[in-house]
């Protein structure tokens, strides 16, 4: 076994223990409360989880993307929300690593082990559509002045550093880094979503926020490319989260089928149950294979956007359908708030639209196939 | 060569004699096969515990009397015992596997350079060797252990493994052992506070109502507590319920928790994993309620009710005076 | 402060196999994990180091596979590890183990505090801590449920007995064994996991230590395991009560006392 494998094994073991002790027992509580309980996020920070992918020179552990993805898969088995919070953070850190200049990274990345970084594109007028972007970045001397309104940001309100997609005066797209302490920065509305209830999803409003030139990520004109890259990085991790949700659904369905009998026959011995359980197990394995391929390709510098889109598209639809099958197996208990199944469906449902809708995934996958 | 005696360490905290020591005197007498049973008793001059010990019929009590024993550390006690034991070593030396016993015995073991088997569930002689039956892996694997050459053969024995019995005619000799108390400079007991929670421990309760995962509900907890109060008993739980708000580690039965010696134990919604049943071996009568007819707990039970816990509890509460 | 934490690697699973030749448990082939109580000991050491400065050194006696647990302890934050490993140490009972560990601690030198978990969850003896303390002539507190630095050279600990709680003061150097209730062990962190593979593990055999060979391994073990077996379940004659609850209760009550 290589050292890297042993290190990843230890990491995954720790994530499993952390999840079992700190997250899984309060999974339903987080869903009911619509928030992380006091102290939970600090525990996550103190255990160093924000720095899993961060480079060593910035105080991180520099685990590879496969290890990060597997960590989120295991975490999502206990609580999908916290896994998505970390997904939002990790995917943003990737853009700093790939596109950030040294002085920007030296300024910001040391704090990435302690506070959340978020990536914001969506605006009231449009989601993934660049024509809809109204946020403006106006050059003034050595600085840029940014004004605009970003909504539905994963971890919006919790995150302290925001990458913002903006349009320059000559209509070029660019990504700038702002933080909450800058004058003109304001937090806005928090969404009231039906699932992933622990993850704050919110708005930031920028009113003439001034940033120095080095806060530009990459180059002017590279904004959409960075946005696409962020999407791909996110979708790989979402595939992992969805695989974790399906594992949770599978365990719930299997345990129930072992204990429960219909007319003296344990449910798992009935063909109708077997079909559902097999479907869930297969969908989980497929999604796992997809996200792992995405992570492997990314690390090997091979194209991974299409496979990442597949992981999210297939994984989200499967996780919702699997949740529904698990619900059916549990019967009345599945339909009850007292059992976890129904909130797993609501958690998974988000990923049929977040980071690009299923329909958009179809478009991207088709375009990728046509280009071959 | 040893002096062919079985020595039993008598632990006292204040004037309270540890019951396990009495249990060991009885057990030693039962397996002695001609050997003398000697109780060794460090105590302050005012305690005079030998007067209570005589009723359990040891052949001899060796008292180590010094007022420092009111507050002696593990090292000081081990040192005193070593002085008395070293020159004329007994065949065997039994300690209670209490916190103190498990702390003093290994120190003494190292001084005597002999063998010690801890937390035994049984002891018996095969010729001259004391066979020491010890559980390992959380009581999943049993080992028979012997100490063929070194003397004394030392063991610590789990509390409530044996029962203490008084004898009607005893002729106990009381002898004051000669030793010098060596005060240690580098350790000191600065306070000993009696535990204020003097309500009986689960280990000693005569009636126990035990709740498991399968019975966990507000209603069942209430019913169980009411029933326990009616019967003058206590409520205990299996390990999983110690994670719930209503219960703590003190309520746990089994590995890491209480070993029951109850006359009546009622198991509710408990499946009967080994980790639990280890703690109920010495309960006299066991009644178990579980919805699963194949639950292993029924193998340990005198009475089995396959059905709903709430129904059973309600009916029992109604019919008990 | 120079703190040594004695740790042991134990099988992860409850189902263990028995070697019919040695009558000991087969320790290979089963995933090893760090003894859970040892994590509390490591945590206590780390807290003292965080407070008073110094070094936390893990010490274990066992085969090469024990490096897994030593890495785990370093991934919690311990600074380095020493593994005492050789065929000559095999088959040791608590006396031989305690002797060997005591010699290793002497070889590490200038140790202020030795911590152990209260017992290992395989052998369940809890004897090695006090034996080491006796060989080193250190004072001890066992089953500590609180542990605090009182001054640069003294520690205060609480130990709960059946009927009383003791407050015990020790002058360093000393040995302390700890209970689960003492603290909540910190998780390994991703950075510490990476660093644990960079921190040194020193391996010592009997040649590296100043030992009396008659006191180590099987030769130095007064006790012998003669038989290993599964506990026998006493067969009880169970009376099944009527399915109707009221009926069942009256049956039960009539048969009790």
Q: Please report, for the domain that includes residue A197, its CATH number.
A: 2.40.110.10
Compute CA distances C108 → A227, B207, C15, C213, whole Å: 56, 53, 36, 19
Q: Do domains B5-176 and B202-319 have the same CATH topology?
A: yes
Does the distance separating the beta carbons of A10 and C75 come in below 8 Å? yes
Measure in Å the smallest separation between the Cα of A116 and chain C Cα atoms. Answer: 17
> Which residues of B belong to the annotated binding site for FAD?
213, 238-239, 290
Residue B85's pLDDT is what?
95
Pick the residue of B141, B152, B185, B233 with the most C CBs within 10 A to test the interface with C by mutation.
Answer: B141
Q: With CA atoms as reference, report the closest residue to B192 among B10, B61, B69.
A: B69
At A62, is the secondary structure helix, strand, or coil? coil
- Helices A341-349, A223-259: crossing angle, 10 deg rounding: 160
Residues A203, A355, A364, A369: which is the catalytic one?
Answer: A355
Asked if C155 and C169 count as a contact pair (C-beta separation under 8 A), the reply is: yes
Q: Kindly write down the DSSP assignment for every residue of C45-64, as one continuous string.
A: HHHHHHHH--EEEEEEES-G
Asked if A128 and A81 count as a contact pair (C-beta separation under 8 A), the reply is: no
Does the distance separating the beta carbons of C243 and B307 come in below 8 Å? yes
Q: Kindly write down the DSSP assignment for every residue of A299-311, as one continuous string.
A: HTT---HHHHHHH
Supply the CATH number for residue A104's domain: 1.10.540.10
A54: closest chain C residue by CA: C191
Domain housing A7: 3-113
Asked if B154 and B116 count as a contact pair (C-beta separation under 8 A), the reply is: yes
Asked if A204 and A156 count as a contact pair (C-beta separation under 8 A), the reply is: yes
Does one domain contain both A131 and A200? yes
Chain C interface residues facing chain A, Cβ-Cβ under 8 Å?
71-72, 75, 186-194, 196-197
Measure in Å the smallest separation between the Cα of B169 and chain C Cα atoms. Answer: 31
A204, A222, A240 - which closes a domain: A222
Q: With CA atoms as reference, report the closest residue to A349 among A318, A322, A316.
A: A316
Residues of B in contact with C225 (CB under 8 A): 143-145
Compute CA distances B261 → B160, B208, B253, whole Å: 7, 9, 11
Q: Kindly write down the DSSP assignment for every residue of B125-187, as one continuous string.
A: EETTEEEEEEEETTTTEEEEEE-SSSSSEEEEE-TTSS-----SS---EEEEPP------SSE
**Greatest CA separation found in chain B?**
65
Q: Which residues pair with B96 in a beta bridge?
A: B157
Identify whether A70 is a catalytic site residue: no
Q: Which CATH superfamily is domain B5-176 in?
A: HUPs (3.40.50.620)
pTM higher than 0.90? no
Which fold, B202-319? Rossmann fold (3.40.50)
* Tokens 């928090």 found at: A190
| ipTM score | 0.92
Residue C162's pLDDT is what?
77
**What secondary structure letter does DSSP report for A65?**
H
* Tokens 């006191």 found at: C215
Does the distance separating the beta carbons of C256 and B285 come in below 8 Å? yes
Q: Kindly write down the DSSP assignment for every residue of A156-171, as one continuous string.
A: TTT-SEEEEEEEETTS
Does one domain contain both A149 and A199? yes
Q: Which residues pair with B209 in a beta bridge?
A: B235, B266
B318: closest chain C residue by CA: C246
Name B117's Cβ contacts closer than 8 Å, sequence gap at least 6. Answer: B132, B134, B145, B147, B154, B155, B156, C125, C223
Does one domain contain both A121 and A195? yes
User: What pLDDT digit, counting tens, does each position of A61-72 carry?
Assistant: 999 999 999 999
Residue B197's pLDDT is what?
56
At B228, is the secondary structure helix, strand, or coil? helix
Compute CA distances B90 → B56, B60, B84, B124, B152, whole Å: 20, 13, 10, 16, 5
Residue A191's pLDDT is what?
95
A11: closest chain C residue by CA: C190
Closest CB from C126, C169, C224 relative to B102: C126
Residues in chain B: 321
Does one domain contain both A108 and A122? no
Does one domain contain both A230 and A217? no
User: What pLDDT digit, counting tens, does each position of B124-153 carry?
Assistant: 999 889 999 998 877 778 899 999 999 999
C192: closest chain A residue by CA: A61
Closest CB from B131, B141, B201 relative to C16: B141
Measure in Å the smallest separation between the Cα of C197 and chain B Cα atoms. Answer: 30
Residue B284's pLDDT is what?
85
Residue A1's pLDDT is what?
44
What stretches in chain B show pLDDT beneath 70?
1, 196-200
User: What pLDDT digit, counting tens, does each position of B172-206 carry?
Assistant: 999 999 999 999 999 999 998 887 654 558 888 88
- Work out the burial of residue B133: count CB atoms within 10 Å of its CB; fewer than 13 is exposed, 13-18 middle, 19 or more buried: buried
Spans of all domains in chain B: 5-176, 202-319
Q: pLDDT over 70 for what percent of chain B?
A: 98
A47: closest chain C residue by CA: C189
What stretches in chain A show pLDDT beneath 50?
1
User: What pLDDT digit, counting tens, does each position of C203-254 carry?
Assistant: 999 999 989 999 999 999 999 999 988 877 666 688 899 999 999 999 898 8
Does one domain contain both A248 and A358? yes
A113, A128, A161 - which closes a domain: A113
Find residues 42-101 of chain A whose CB sits inside 8 Å of chain C. Answer: 47-49, 51-52, 56, 59-63
d(CA C207, CA C210): 8
Does the distance separating the beta carbons of A49 and C188 come in below 8 Å? no
Closest CB from C186, C189, C193 relative to A7: C193
The secondary element (H helix, E strand) that includes residue C166 is strand C164-171
Measure in Å the smallest separation between the Cα of C24 and chain B Cα atoms. Answer: 9
Does one domain contain both A322 and A285? yes
d(CA C190, CA A79): 20
Structural domain count, chain A: 3
Q: Which other chains touch chain B, taking contact as 3+ CB pairs less than 8 Å apart?
A: C
Residues of C in contact with B98 (CB under 8 A): 161-162
Strands B264-268 and B207-211: parallel
Which class is C2-232 in CATH? alpha beta
Pick the residue of B13, B137, B198 with the most C CBs within 10 A to test the interface with C by mutation.
Answer: B137
Averaged pLDDT score across all residues of chain C = 91
Does the distance separating the beta carbons of C249 and B142 come in below 8 Å? no
At A31, is the secondary structure helix, strand, or coil? helix
Residue B203's pLDDT is what?
84
Size of interface A-C (CB pairs under 8 A): 46
A113, A144, A171 - which closes a domain: A113
Measure in Å the smallest separation between the Cα of B192 and chain C Cα atoms. Answer: 4
What stretches in chain C show pLDDT beneath 70?
13-30, 233-236, 257
């Amino acid at each position: 076994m290589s050292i890297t494998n042993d290190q990843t094994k230890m990491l995954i073991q720790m994530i499993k223990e952390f999840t079992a002790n700190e997250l899984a027992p309060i999974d339903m509580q987080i869903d009911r409360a619509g928030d992380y309980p006091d102290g939970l996020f600090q525990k996550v920070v103190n255990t160093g989880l924000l720095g899993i992918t961060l480079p060593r020179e910035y105080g991180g552990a520099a685990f590879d993307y496969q290890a990060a993805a597997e960590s989120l898969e295991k975490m999502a088995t206990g609580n999908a929300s916290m896994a998505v919070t970390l997904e939002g953070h990790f995917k943003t850190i990737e853009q700093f690593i790939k596109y950030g200049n040294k002085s920007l990274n030296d300024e910001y990345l040391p704090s990435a082990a302690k506070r959340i970084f978020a990536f914001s594109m969506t605006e009231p007028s449009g989601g993934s559509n660049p024509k809809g972007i109204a946020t403006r970045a106006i050059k003034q001397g050595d600085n840029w002045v940014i004004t605009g309104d970003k909504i539905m940001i994963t971890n919006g309100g919790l995150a302290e550093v925001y990458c913002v997609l903006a349009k320059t005066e000559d209509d070029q797209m660019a990504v700038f880094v702002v933080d909450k302490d800058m004058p003109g920065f304001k937090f806005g509305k928090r969404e009231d979503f039906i699932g992933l209830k622990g993850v704050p999803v919110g708005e930031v409003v920028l009113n003439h926020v001034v940033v120095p030139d080095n806060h530009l990520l990459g180059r002017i004109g590279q904004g959409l490319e960075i946005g696409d890259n962020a999407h791909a990085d996110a979708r790989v991790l979402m595939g992992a989260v969805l695989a974790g949700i399906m594992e949770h659904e599978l365990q719930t369905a299997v345990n129930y089928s072992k204990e429960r009998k219909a007319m003296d026959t344990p449910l798992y011995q009935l063909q109708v149950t077997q079909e559902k359980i097999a479907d869930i197990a297969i969908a989980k394995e497929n999604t796992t294979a997809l996200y792992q391929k995405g992570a492997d390709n990314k690390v090997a510098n091979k194209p991974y956007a299409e496979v990442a889109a597949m992981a999210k598209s297939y994984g989200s639809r499967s996780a919702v359908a699997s949740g529904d099958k698990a619900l059916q197996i549990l019967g009345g208990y599945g339909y009850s708030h007292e059992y976890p199944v129904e909130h797993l469906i609501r958690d998974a449902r988000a990923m049929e639209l977040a980071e690009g809708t299923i329909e958009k995934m179809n478009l991207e996958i088709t375009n990728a196939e046509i280009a071959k | 060569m040893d002096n062919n005696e079985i020595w039993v360490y008598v632990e006292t905290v204040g004037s309270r004699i540890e019951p396990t020591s009495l249990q060991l005197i009885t057990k030693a007498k039962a397996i002695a096969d001609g050997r003398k049973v000697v109780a060794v008793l460090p105590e302050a001059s005012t305690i005079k515990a030998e007067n209570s010990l005589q009723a359990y019929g040891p052949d001899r009590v060796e008292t180590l009397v010094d007022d420092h024993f009111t507050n002696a550390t593990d090292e000081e006690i081990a040192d005193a015992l070593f002085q008395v034991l070293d020159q004329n070593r007994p065949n065997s030396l039994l300690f209670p596997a209490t916190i103190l016993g498990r702390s003093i015995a290994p120190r003494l073991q190292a001084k005597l350079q002999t063998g010690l088997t801890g937390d035994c569930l049984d002891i018996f002689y095969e010729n001259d060797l004391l066979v020491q039956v010890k559980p390992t892996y959380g009581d999943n694997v049993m080992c028979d252990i012997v100490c063929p050459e070194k003397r004394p053969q030392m063991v610590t024995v789990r509390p409530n493994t044996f029962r203490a019995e008084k004898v009607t005619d005893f002729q106990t000799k009381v002898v004051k052992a000669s030793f010098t108390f060596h005060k240690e400079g580098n350790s000191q007991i600065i306070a000993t506070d009696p535990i204020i929670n003097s309500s009986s421990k689960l280990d000693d309760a005569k009636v126990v109502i035990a709740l498991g995962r399968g019975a966990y509900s507000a209603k069942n907890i209430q019913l169980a507590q009411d029933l326990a109060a009616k019967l003058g008993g206590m409520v205990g739980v299996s390990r999983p319920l110690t994670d719930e708000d209503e219960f703590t580690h003190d309520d746990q039965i089994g590995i890491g928790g209480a070993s029951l010696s109850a006359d009546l134990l009622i198991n509710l919604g408990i499946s009967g994993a080994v980790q639990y049943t280890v703690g109920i071996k010495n309960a006299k009568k066991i009644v178990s309620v579980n919805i699963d007819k194949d639950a292993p707990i029924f193998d340990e039970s005198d009475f089995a009710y396959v059905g709903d816990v709430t129904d059973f509890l309600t009916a029992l509460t109604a019919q008990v005076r | 402060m120079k703190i040594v934490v004695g740790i042991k690697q134990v099988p992860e699973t409850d189902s263990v196999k028995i070697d019919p030749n040695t009558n000991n448990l087969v320790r290979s082939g089963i995933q090893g994990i760090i003894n859970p109580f040892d994590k509390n000991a490591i945590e206590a050491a780390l807290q003292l180091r965080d407070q008073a400065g110094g070094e936390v050194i893990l010490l274990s006696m066992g085969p090469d596979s024990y490096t897994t647990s030593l890495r785990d302890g370093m991934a919690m934050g311990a600074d380095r590890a020493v593994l005492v490993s050789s065929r000559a140490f095999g088959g040791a009972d608590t006396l031989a183990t305690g002797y060997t560990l005591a010699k290793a601690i002497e070889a590490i030198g200038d140790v202020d505090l030795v911590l152990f978990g209260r017992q290992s969850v395989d052998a369940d003896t809890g004897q090695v801590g006090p034996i080491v303390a006796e060989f080193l002539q250190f004072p001890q507190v066992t089953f500590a449920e609180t542990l605090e630095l009182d001054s640069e050279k003294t520690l205060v600990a609480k130990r709960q007995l059946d009927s009383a709680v003791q407050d015990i003061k020790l002058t360093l150097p000393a040995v302390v064994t700890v209970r689960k209730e003492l603290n909540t062990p910190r998780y390994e962190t991703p950075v510490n996991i990476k660093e644990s593979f960079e921190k040194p593990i020193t391996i010592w055999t009997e040649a590296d230590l100043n030992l009396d060979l008659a006191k180590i391994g099987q030769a130095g073990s007064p006790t012998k395991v003669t038989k290993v077996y599964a506990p026998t379940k006493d067969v009880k004659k169970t009376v099944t009560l009527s399915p109707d609850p009221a009926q069942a209760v009256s049956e039960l009550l009539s048969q009790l006392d």
